[in-house]
Every structure is written in structure tokens, then in C-alpha cells.
Chain A
């Protein structure tokens, strides 16, 4: 356990004092809380968390150490990590290194031993805001000043930071049935894994790909991944989406991809007060009535009407999924001639971390491509 002191300051001036955790240093970002009780390794390596300081509401973090299999990308992306009780000792037959060591190795600054529940309630009541953590000094005023000068999440474009530089291919398991171009806006490893298991060859392409290049690939479908930042800044991705829809290619989007899909169809996106981050969120499929317990990680949402269809140049759009906790739009579907043409969900059917209830959406994508082929 670290004996170094650390300090956390929110942009409204609220101060928490604790101990340093992970790397020593200073870090800034948007303070968000995540309520999952398991899966910190997946969460930390999820590119959607770029620019965010994650507060774990589960008090014990690091109990199962760090293993070689559960990373969702090549590195830890969070700007900072706030926990209450870091494990002194990891216990798992798969663990190769402790979480603390991994945070240090990757230079992630954290803080432990603070009242994470009080911090969470504060963010719930006051809304998401900027935060700074420092294990370099204890001067709250100085840190507050820096926090107020740090960038905001609204208007932030982080896609360039996380996207792949070069396209790469993930081979289908078994006979190849379809090819999908996955636009990497911050994709998690488990997403291609879900697709390849269904006989899809996935070509992960940089977010900077042009519409022409994308269409020329002539894939059976296009996938829009999850990712960090404000969807309002993602004009290029929106343009790609419109091009794909115009070419009448099957499309499936997840999370940030849902927001891009929504914007491409003409809806606005907005920032939620404190977002959905957890793995226990009930979502209803409005067509089947089925409720899935799903993994969420989104601070923005699509502003689409729940009570009516919207006609667009690409077809008729409906809100297909809603969150039962707060009626936030959790999915959109595009139909033409009564047939499903493209769809997206705001949550994470690929889970990791989280329940597998919504994995069937990948089957829906397969069925969509099958029907279009």
C-alpha cells in the first residue's frame, strides 16, 4: 500500500485527499464513475475512456491482478484511476502481474483511499465535470487552477488518438461467410472476436479512411465501433456513415457508433448529466419486448423521438431500444420497404466487461447481411 499522499480536485473546487495509486504524477480529465463490480482490466483498456478519469464504485480493485488475455486493446487508456481499496495481493490463476505494477508501468496516475461513494454522489448530483489528481503536491488551489485550464469533454475529438494507423484483418473462425469493414473509432478486441466467431472476416480500418476507399472495399457490411469523445466533433465518421447508407450497405454500430449513426440520420446528440457506465443496465428491445442486462459506457446520447418514426432520405428510423432506468435512447434501426437495413445500439453487446445477454445482436448483423447478400 502506498504511503504517498495524493489529492483529487474537481472543477467545482471539491477536494478529496487520499493516497497515491499507480504512477506518481499529475493527471486531468473528465471525472466519470463506473459501477461494474468486475472487469477493471477490460475497463481500463477500453479506448472509449480516453480523456476520462474513472472512479470505480466497487471498493476492492485489483484483487485478480492483471492477466495476458483480458485486455480490450493494446494499452490502458484512462487518464486516471480512482479507487478505494487497492489489493495488496492479487489472486487469480491467470494473473501475471499486479494491477498496481501495470498502472505504474503504463504511467497511469491514480488515487486510492478516498470516499469514492461520496465522490460518485457528488458527480451524480452536480453532473460530470473535470478533475485533476496529483501525487506531486498537496496544494488544492494550484491543482484546481490546472483543472480549470484543462480541456473539456464537450467538443473533444479523441478518435485520432485511438484509431489504428493501418488497416488489419482479423480472420474468420471456420469458413468465411462475410467480410465486414470495421471503422476503428476506438474498437475493443472483443468486438472483432464476436464477429469472427460468426464466420465474419473483419477488416479493421482507420477512422481517417475516405468514403471512396471504404466503398471500394466492397464488404458485406460496415461496422461502426465504440470510441471516445464528443460525437458532435466526428463529422468525418458521420460522412462515412452517410456514404455507406447511401450505398445501401448493411451497417451495425455500437456506442459511439450509435451516436454517429444517429447523427448521420439527422438526429442531434447531447451530453448526459453523468452518463451510463456500468454492467447492470436494463435495456428493452422495443420490437420483441425482451430485456437484456447490458454493459454501458456512454456520456452522450442520441436525441431521437420515442413515440414516432422519422422518415429520412435513407428510410424510416425508429428508436429500437431504450434504457429502462431513464428512457435514454439505446438503439436505432433503419428500415426500407419494411426491411431492416442498418441498426445500432448505444450499449455494448460485445460486453467485456459485462453480461453476454446482448450477444445476439451480432447474429442480427449476420442475418442482415445474409438478407442483403
Chain B
């Protein structure tokens, strides 16, 4: 049954902005899908609001819509493009929900669009808890008994709850029906808790109903990735075992593939049930993910849930096995059967098989709790991690060691030099799952805790704990050894020890261990991920290192360029950098080089084995990169290593790599250092006649205080050498400065604190440019919507700039050129400026690809990272202009009347985090970056472009209703005009007393409302927080007073903002943001909202400025 010929155009929906729980993996899956569908001759129409994705590159679809993934927008696109079919199983929950909404509202029927991949019925059966339970319970008997879901009882009184718990046995989970965000649910371990939580739950439920469910907390957790075609052939692609037992979201768990602690009997039972489920749910063509829990002492198996679509785990499973789930899912969705699709890796065998692994894969999550200091770090069933690293080794210990060092968190690898601590305290600490638990488990073992004790405390399977114990024993052996014999060294490496860990145990340096290792010939070999445990020869060079005996690398004909990727996603370094790395790989392959990618992030397109000529799935540490460089140098010429596209991760390695003899192409490590080093950079600015805000550097509070006095408060303080504004704050006085320095763990004599004058009311500008040593090419000039002081990664921005004068633009050009030249850039540079009055200040310059490269590339229809790669390899800008890679005469800064306005808006994860007391974390913006992702709005005018950005970021932009206004004194006079405009647009205004009286003085009618701290009035007059909770407020405008950040103050503003997060009311915290919102609301009110594809914009842009 070959491809379907009755459909010719297919709409693919992406997953939108990166949010916690839905990240780059859907760019990977969507990119694969678009690619194979086009190869098969279908017209592909893509909708995805996220510009930082590869899939939204114009060449991946016939029509690419960077429009909000929101039913009304998607309907407009359907009406315009009239696709035959809709494929929504590759864009995460976002795409699935949108497809269901379009079906339910009749849009799909109206336009005759067929949903392919999974039917609406199948989606609902898989997603709805009760329906899914019914499906599981009605499956036929299996060899090892029937399939079960967790037992539960619906209760309407406290007596019924007690009865149910007697039947199910404590502990039980209580879930009140119809409450929002899990309010009132919890675990009851004893009768007292049962009574208390039960009563709260019954109260919280509007229908006085509580579901009492047996607890499967602490059970072993597994996942299967299952794939089915329309001929009903089913294969299980991968099994995954969670190191952390039930209770921790799989996205937050350390996971291992394949399953390590199942006999064949249990595994086959799980497989049988998984296959029966995909059939019963009715996922006809495509993949799904099914989760299971197994009781560690009885083996009783419970089906937990399924995702009737490609998921985060599918991406992991694809990377872990070499079986490209999304690609195959797209193929089977258009009618192919699994046996008709070749296995890419072997080329000679079909995709209708089950991958078998001769290695172990470990995935570890990466968290960002440091960005949300008040958030509760306990891991629960609610996902909190922002990224992940994966590693492959020939055994668990090797993979685990590699995975932990891939996280780039110095606390992640086991630290055997650290004092052990108290056993009982450690055993207590590991009883609660949190980031860093595995390290404390190791500490506990180091105090002499037994495997049984650690198992008792954590519920982790004893096989895994024994593996940790083996690592610990090996560490003891290394420590006790007089010298390091080749055998011992090899054994240590074979079990995942890094040079640094060995060095720590021997009180020496990693460099010396490396030299010793090399002298003794202890080096890794490179194996291949081949889907079949070597049964057939692999044609795809997808490699991982192992301290095993034989290497499988082959010689190359072409010179190679090694691209160092960006590692695990984190706040401040995400998919945007992967985008640039992938572009480098593409352009290098097209230009006579073998592109070699090194990365450890399983979510990304860069770690798709299809992306580069060679892929090394490896940690991005000096040790691992040097080994790859050495191994590849044996295979052919290496033209160089690219470090400036993957963000801070590879950049940090640049100097050490160069010192070790590695050839770095593009901007030299010295130039990179020069831009980072304040003094040297100041001299560059001085020479060019440029100014930066007054600043100084300090190693202690006393020094910092002196600097601050000289500059004048407020000052911006931050540790040097960090990305994403990590640890950055605006402080307004000495006391706050002292608190900041006392609390910072990032400040040391080697990394002093930087103190800058903070520019109030300045416009912030972001510039991306390309420099070849001679000519400057401005990629784009972006103007931030929020004023200076909000981290550039958290600020919305527009391209072209909204308010800059021609003179200012000219000054930006000359300044950028001067800096690029002065620093010695060869490739990309990103510069942030602040315009205060008439003065242009240089805030910082980064000689590397920035977060905004994909946005700029899409806004200007010019692929800057590709051009930059060629510049690094020696091309001039003039040549690239000639080749059509860059605009022939102008550059990205050109503006013309009627040009499209591109707006970048960001996504925040505030709704993911709660404080220990259970309230939301503060959503106020500051100099520390906290957004996880971005969207793009494209329109002919600023207002609509901004509005599209808001809608795309899932902000419920109101076009009428009630707005609540409460602002800091310094902002009061600036809000008069925007508030007046809102009234003209038909809004009713509520304000706190102070704000209301200022507005009244200007003749604006605002109804005063009680602050949270004023409490409910004597006659029941509600506070603003109560009004928000009642859903009576449609828009909140609240600027923080006193410059507090980080959410440490329980002030009125905090209560308002957290209520806004909880009840999902749009909340604006800056005046400039309000002004933009007014324009956006105006644009939406006119109703003249059109959708335009990137290809259409591109043609227009190219015509306007060749």
C-alpha cells in the first residue's frame, strides 16, 4: 500500500514557543515530517509561531505561516490554503488541541480537511482519563493476566472516602473533580491526612466529588514507544526505564533505555498490552507513547497513560535507537506501511522491525530553579525541567557519567572530593525527589549507607543503586592507588569517570590526567548507533564514544569542520543556538566540507543523524571534544572547529581548545576573551569614541559599594562570564547591594562582580551583524518594547525599530562596525545598545551567534548563520552578496515604506512553578532572563504585529472589558495616554487609590478598588485579588515599585501578579508594554487580521531590497 494519491496538500501544525514540557523535540519531529512529506511530493503548509525552529525555515515547507497556533488564525490559513489533510500528531499537545478544536467547531468539515495520523475519536480516547481507563479495562486477557489501570473510587462524602481508602489501602491519592490546577488534590498517607485532605477536596469541588485512587508512588516506571501502520503492523520502537520511581514526571526523571530490570516475560507482557492499547485506542497510523508502573515486589503492572502522538519521549527514543519515529509516523500517516519504508541506517532492511541496542542510553533533566529562587524544588508529577542531556555508553555507568557531565552544571558529576556528610541526614534528604538527588545518593553510599537503605529511602531499583555503589567503590580504589596503572585508568574511564573526577581523587589536574592517559594510550573508541546491535552494517555515521576496544570510524575524503553544539536547553541558551549550528552544518556540506556535529541534547535537530555528515552524540566538555578532534584527525583533514554558534557552551571551551592545538575558525579565542574582559573592551570603545554606562568591577561588597557610590544608584550588578543574565539584578541602595553580594555563589576573585550604571527610561537596541575583517553587514536592528533593564531575552522587540531616528540608526551602524573591527570579529557579533536621550551607550558585545539570529534571519529573509559560517571559512561578505546568500547592495538594516514588521514576543514559565506554600512565583521582569521561548508576529503594521505576537504567546488579548491599573509613582505620569486610549477603545478602568487619583487629576474616570493589603471591605467590597479570582478583570497593568525582583517581597504587586498567573489574566508590567498592547488591541478591534506566509513575505522583501 504505497502513498496516498487522493490527497495532495497537507497542513502540519508545529508546537509553538518553547515552554516547559514542550520544547525543541517538536522542531525535530516537525522538521522530519515536513522534509519527508515534501520529498514524497506533497504540498506542505506549515503553521508554527516559533521563529527559532528549523522547520519554519522557508525551504522546509511550501507555505510557512509564522502565525499564532490558535484556532481562529489556523482557520484563516485553512481558508486561504485549502489543504486536503491536517497532520497534528507531530506538534505536541498544542497541535493536537488545536486540531481537536478545529474539528469540534466544524472548521475541518467545512473546508473538507481530513485529519490524518490519529482520528479525533482516537485522540479523545487516548487523552481523556476516564475513557482511557475504560479502554484499558476492556482489553482481552493476556498471557500474564489482564491489563489494569489504577483502581479508583468516586466519593461524595467523607464516609465514602474512608470506605474507599479501606478498600484501596493507604496511601491514596485524592483528586477533587472540576478544580483548577490540581487545587485540593494530594496524597493521604494516614487516616488523619485522609480526613483532612478529603474534607478540603470535597469543599473545593463544585460538585462535592473526590476521586480516591490507589497510590502507585514509588513503583517502577516504564515507557514504550509504539508505532502502527494502516495495515495494522505494530512495532515497539523502544523501552525506557525511569531511574526515579513513580511520582516524578518522566520529563524530570533520569531515564534509561533500554529497560534494565525486566525479564523477557514481563517485558513481553508490557509489549502485548502496549500493542493492544494502540489498537484499541485506534491510533491508525503513527506513533504513541504509553507509560506503565510495576510494583517492585509483586510485579503487578498498571497502565498509567498514553499520548496518542509523537512526544518528548519519542524524540529521545529516536535518538536512543536510530529509529526516526517522527519521520516514520509522517510516512505511515500518508499511507505507507512499515515494510515499505527503508531503515535509513542499514538501508537494506525495512522499518518494520524493532531496534535492538548494544549500548545504554541515559537521559538526565536540566532544571532552572536558580532562576526562580522561591519556587519549590520538589519534583512531582508536574514537569519543571527546562532541558535535558542524553549520553550513550556501552554500559550504564559510562552513559551516566557522560550524561551528568553533559549537563554543564559543575555540581552534576559525582564529586568524590566533597566531604561526605551525615548518613541519616542524607538518607532523609534523598527521600524527597529533587534536582541533585542522585548526587546525594552517591554521598549516602560514600557514608557507608547500604544499597537497601538507599533503596528504602528513594524507591530506586537496587540494580541502579548497585551501579552507583560500583562507581563509589571504583572511586575508593582510585583514591587508594599509589599510581594510576593503565588498567585502573581504563577501568575508571570505562565506568564513566571524567579526567576531572580522576584528577580530584588524586589531587592533580585534569590536564595532567589527560596527558597521562594519552601517554598510556588510554583513549576512547567510537561506536555506531545502528538500530540492530551490529547484525547489519550501518551506513549512517552516528557515533558515540566508549572506552571499549575497537573503533568504527572510517576515513573521510573531504576536509571536515567540527561544529560544537549548545548542549542541554536551559533558560538563556536554547533552540536558537541549535538553529545556527544546523545552518552551519547545511552550508558546510553544500560547500565541499564534511560537517561534523557534536552535541548532547536529544531534543534538537542538530542531533538528528540526518543533519550532518557525521554526528557525535557526546558531552561538550574539553576532554570529550579533544578526543573527537584527535579521532577525526586520524580520519582525514580537519579544516577547523566552530565555537561561535552554540552559545556560551562551546565559547567557554575556545581558549582551552586552542591551547591544546585545536584549530578554531572564525573569531579567535583571544578576540572572544577581549569582548568578555571589561578593561580590554573599554579600550576598544575608547579608541572608537564610544561610551558605555559608567561601570566598575568589584571582588567584595566594600569595593562594589564604592563603585556604586561613584556611579550613582540604581546600579546593575552581575557576575562576569555568564549568559542569560544569570545572577543579574538592579539594586537601588547599599543594603540591597550587600544582600546581593552576600547571597551570590557566582562571585569570586576569578569571576568578579560587574557594577554598571542602570539607565532608567532608555530604549534598548539589539544588533546582529556579520563582519569579515573588512566589511560589515548589519543583519538586523531590533528595538526592545520594554525599556533597558529587562533582560534582552525577556523583552519583546520589533524589527525594524519602531522609534529610532535615521541619525540613531546611522550611529548604530558606525558603532557596530567600530566594535566588530576593534574586537577582531570574523563572523557574527551581537551588540546591545541603550539609547538614553541622544546618547547611544554600548551595553555589551558578544562575538558569537546570538539568540536573535533565527528571528532576524526570518524577518529579513536572509540566513545569517549560513553566511557567518562561510565567513568563518574564509569567504568575504562581497562574495556572499554575489552568491545571493546576502543582499546584493543593502543589508538587514534597510527600511522602506510598508515593509513588514516582525515582532518577537517571549514565553514565561511562571505557571509551572509554585512556592513551598503553594502560591505562584512572581512574574515581574528583571535583568535576569527567565523566559523559555519565543514567538514571532508578522504584519504590515506595528499594532497587528504586536497583537499576533501576544496571541501566539497564548496571551488572551482582550478587545474589551475591564482593565485594572496600579503603577509605581515614577510611572504615574506616563500612563495617562495609554489609559485614556483604553477607555476610548471601550474598556472600563479600575485602579488603586493612588493611581486613580492621578488619573482623576487628568480627567480620566477610574473606579477605585481595594488593594490586597487593604483586605475585603466592611460591606464586602472585594479586593483586586478577589476580583481577579472571580474572573472580572480582563487585563492587568501593574508596574513594580522599589525595583524589587526575584519575587522576594510579598507586596501587593506580588499578590496581583501571582493571581494573574494563576487565573491566566494578561498582565503587563512596563509602560512601554502597555503602549504596545494598546496598539495591538486597536488592531484586533478593527478585525482586519490577515495571514501571510513567510514565502510571500520573502518574495516581497527580496523585491524591495536586492
Interface positions of A (Cβ within 8 A of B): 16, 33, 35-39, 41-42, 57-60, 63-64, 67, 69-70, 84-85, 87-94, 114-118, 120-121, 124, 278-282, 284, 289-291, 293, 324-326, 351-356
Cβ-defined partner of B268 (8 Å) among A64, A89, A117, A354: A354
The residues of A that contact B348 with a CB separation of less than 8 Å are: 325
Contact B265 A324 (CB under 8 A): no
**Assuming the A-B contacts A59-B394, A63-B261, are A124 and B535 also in contact, with contact meaning beta carbons closer than 8 angstroms in the complex?**
yes
Interface of chain B residues 250 through 282 with chain A (CB within 8 A):
258-265, 267-268, 271-272
**Assuming the A-B contacts A115-B549, A355-B268, are A57 and B527 also in contact, with contact meaning beta carbons closer than 8 angstroms in the complex?**
no
- Per-residue CB proximity of B589-612 to A under 8 Å, as 1/0? 000000000000000000000000
The dominant DSSP class at the A interface is loop
Interface positions of B (Cβ within 8 A of A): 143, 231-233, 235-236, 258-265, 267-268, 271-272, 296-299, 337-339, 348-350, 352-360, 394-396, 451, 461-463, 466, 470, 527, 532-537, 548-550, 552
The residues of B that contact A282 with a CB separation of less than 8 Å are: 339, 350, 352-353
Could you tell me the distance between the alpha carbons of A63 and B264 in the complex, rounded to whole angstroms?
12
Contact A290 B233 (CB under 8 A): yes
Cβ-defined partner of B261 (8 Å) among A64, A70, A117, A293: A64
Top 8 nearest A-B pairs (CB, nearest first) are: A39-B264, A118-B550, A115-B549, A57-B533, A91-B463, A353-B264, A38-B264, A280-B354
A14 CB to closest chain B CB, in angstroms? 11
**Assuming the A-B contacts A59-B360, A324-B350, are A114 and B549 also in contact, with contact meaning beta carbons closer than 8 angstroms in the complex?**
yes
Could you tell me the distance between the alpha carbons of A93 and B300 in the complex, rounded to whole angstroms?
11
Contact B262 A35 (CB under 8 A): no
Contact B235 A293 (CB under 8 A): yes
The dominant DSSP class at the B interface is loop
Cβ-defined partner of A60 (8 Å) among B260, B355, B470: B260
Contact A35 B532 (CB under 8 A): yes
**Assuming the A-B contacts A35-B356, A59-B358, A94-B299, are A64 and B349 also in contact, with contact meaning beta carbons closer than 8 angstroms in the complex?**
no
The residues of A that contact B394 with a CB separation of less than 8 Å are: 59, 84-85, 117
Could you tell me the distance between the alpha carbons of A80 and B119 in the complex, rounded to whole angstroms?
51
Q: Which residue of B lies closest to A276 (CB)?
A: B535
Q: Which of A36, A69, A282 has most chain B Cβ within 10 Å?
A: A282
Contact B264 A91 (CB under 8 A): no
Contact B338 A291 (CB under 8 A): yes
**Assuming the A-B contacts A278-B535, A290-B233, are A324 and B355 also in contact, with contact meaning beta carbons closer than 8 angstroms in the complex?**
no
Contact A352 B357 (CB under 8 A): no
Q: Which of A67, A114, A116 has most chain B Cβ within 10 Å?
A: A116
Could you tell me the distance between the alpha carbons of A59 and B261 in the complex, rounded to whole angstroms?
13
Contact A70 B264 (CB under 8 A): yes
Contact A38 B358 (CB under 8 A): no
**Assuming the A-B contacts A58-B533, A284-B339, A325-B536, are A291 and B233 also in contact, with contact meaning beta carbons closer than 8 angstroms in the complex?**
yes
The residues of A that contact B263 with a CB separation of less than 8 Å are: 38-39, 41, 64, 67, 70, 92, 94
**Assuming the A-B contacts A88-B470, A115-B550, are A64 and B262 also in contact, with contact meaning beta carbons closer than 8 angstroms in the complex?**
yes
Q: Total number of A-B contacts with CB less than 8 angstroms?
A: 167
Could you tell me the distance between the alpha carbons of A67 and B262 in the complex, rounded to whole angstroms?
12
Given contacts A37-B357, A291-B337, A324-B350, 18 further A-B contacts (CB under 8 A): A33-B534, A36-B264, A57-B535, A59-B394, A64-B261, A70-B265, A93-B296, A94-B263, A118-B549, A124-B534, A124-B536, A279-B264, A279-B354, A281-B353, A291-B231, A293-B236, A324-B349, A353-B268
The residues of A that contact B356 with a CB separation of less than 8 Å are: 35-37, 57-58, 278-280
Q: Which residue of B lies closest to A89 (CB)?
A: B466
Contact B261 A120 (CB under 8 A): no
Cβ-defined partner of A325 (8 Å) among B259, B353, B355: B353
The residues of B that contact A57 with a CB separation of less than 8 Å are: 356, 358, 533-535
Could you tell me the distance between the alpha carbons of A16 and B537 in the complex, rounded to whole angstroms?
21
Name 29 A/B residue pairs within 8 A (Cβ), A-sorted: A33-B535, A35-B358, A35-B532, A35-B535, A36-B264, A38-B264, A58-B258, A58-B357, A63-B261, A64-B263, A70-B264, A84-B394, A89-B462, A91-B261, A91-B466, A92-B261, A117-B527, A117-B550, A121-B534, A278-B535, A281-B353, A290-B233, A291-B352, A293-B352, A325-B353, A351-B268, A353-B264, A356-B143, A356-B272
Contact A93 B297 (CB under 8 A): yes
Q: Which residue of B lies closest to A91 (CB)?
A: B463
The residues of A that contact B143 with a CB separation of less than 8 Å are: 356
Q: Which residue of A lies closest to B349 (CB)?
A: A325
The residues of B that contact A33 with a CB separation of less than 8 Å are: 533-535
Could you tell me the distance between the alpha carbons of A293 and B236 in the complex, rounded to whole angstroms?
9
**Assuming the A-B contacts A84-B395, A89-B451, A282-B339, are A69 and B265 also in contact, with contact meaning beta carbons closer than 8 angstroms in the complex?**
yes
B276 CB to closest chain A CB, in angstroms? 11
The residues of A that contact B259 with a CB separation of less than 8 Å are: 38
Could you tell me the distance between the alpha carbons of A355 and B461 in the complex, rounded to whole angstroms?
25
The residues of A that contact B536 with a CB separation of less than 8 Å are: 124, 325
Could you tell me the distance between the alpha carbons of A221 and B180 in the complex, rounded to whole angstroms?
63
**Assuming the A-B contacts A84-B394, A118-B549, A290-B233, are A352 and B264 also in contact, with contact meaning beta carbons closer than 8 angstroms in the complex?**
yes
The residues of A that contact B463 with a CB separation of less than 8 Å are: 63, 87, 89-91
Could you tell me the distance between the alpha carbons of A116 and B550 in the complex, rounded to whole angstroms?
10
**Assuming the A-B contacts A38-B267, A115-B548, are A289 and B261 also in contact, with contact meaning beta carbons closer than 8 angstroms in the complex?**
no
The residues of B that contact A93 with a CB separation of less than 8 Å are: 296-299
Could you tell me the distance between the alpha carbons of A57 and B356 in the complex, rounded to whole angstroms?
9
The residues of B that contact A121 with a CB separation of less than 8 Å are: 534, 550, 552
Could you tell me the distance between the alpha carbons of A324 and B338 in the complex, rounded to whole angstroms?
11
Contact B349 A38 (CB under 8 A): no
A252 CB to closest chain B CB, in angstroms? 20
Cβ-defined partner of A324 (8 Å) among B339, B357, B396, B534: B339
The residues of B that contact A94 with a CB separation of less than 8 Å are: 263, 299
Could you tell me the distance between the alpha carbons of A120 and B358 in the complex, rounded to whole angstroms?
10
The residues of A that contact B353 with a CB separation of less than 8 Å are: 280-282, 293, 324-325
The residues of B that contact A69 with a CB separation of less than 8 Å are: 265
Contact A60 B360 (CB under 8 A): yes
Contact A60 B352 (CB under 8 A): no
Could you tell me the distance between the alpha carbons of A284 and B352 in the complex, rounded to whole angstroms?
10
Contact B534 A38 (CB under 8 A): no
Could you tell me the distance between the alpha carbons of A88 and B495 in the complex, rounded to whole angstroms?
14
Could you tell me the distance between the alpha carbons of A121 and B297 in the complex, rounded to whole angstroms?
39
Could you tell me the distance between the alpha carbons of A289 and B340 in the complex, rounded to whole angstroms?
12
Q: Which of B299, B357, B360, B535 has most chain A Cβ within 10 Å?
A: B535
Q: Which residue of A lies closest to B527 (CB)?
A: A117
The residues of B that contact A325 with a CB separation of less than 8 Å are: 348-350, 353, 535-536
Q: Which of B231, B258, B267 has most chain A Cβ within 10 Å?
A: B267
Q: Which residue of A lies closest to B351 (CB)?
A: A282
Could you tell me the distance between the alpha carbons of A115 and B261 in the complex, rounded to whole angstroms?
22
A268 CB to closest chain B CB, in angstroms? 25
**Assuming the A-B contacts A291-B338, A293-B235, A293-B353, are A120 and B533 also in contact, with contact meaning beta carbons closer than 8 angstroms in the complex?**
yes
Contact A291 B296 (CB under 8 A): no
The residues of A that contact B548 with a CB separation of less than 8 Å are: 115, 117-118
Contact A289 B231 (CB under 8 A): yes
The residues of A that contact B267 with a CB separation of less than 8 Å are: 38
The residues of B that contact A280 with a CB separation of less than 8 Å are: 353-356, 532
The residues of B that contact A353 with a CB separation of less than 8 Å are: 264, 268
B339 CB to closest chain A CB, in angstroms? 6
Q: Which residue of A lies closest to B296 (CB)?
A: A93
Could you tell me the distance between the alpha carbons of A90 and B537 in the complex, rounded to whole angstroms?
33
The residues of A that contact B265 with a CB separation of less than 8 Å are: 69-70, 352
Contact B466 A88 (CB under 8 A): yes
B684 CB to closest chain A CB, in angstroms? 52
The residues of B that contact A290 with a CB separation of less than 8 Å are: 231-233
**Assuming the A-B contacts A64-B263, A89-B451, A356-B268, are A117 and B534 also in contact, with contact meaning beta carbons closer than 8 angstroms in the complex?**
yes
A287 CB to closest chain B CB, in angstroms? 14
B233 CB to closest chain A CB, in angstroms? 5
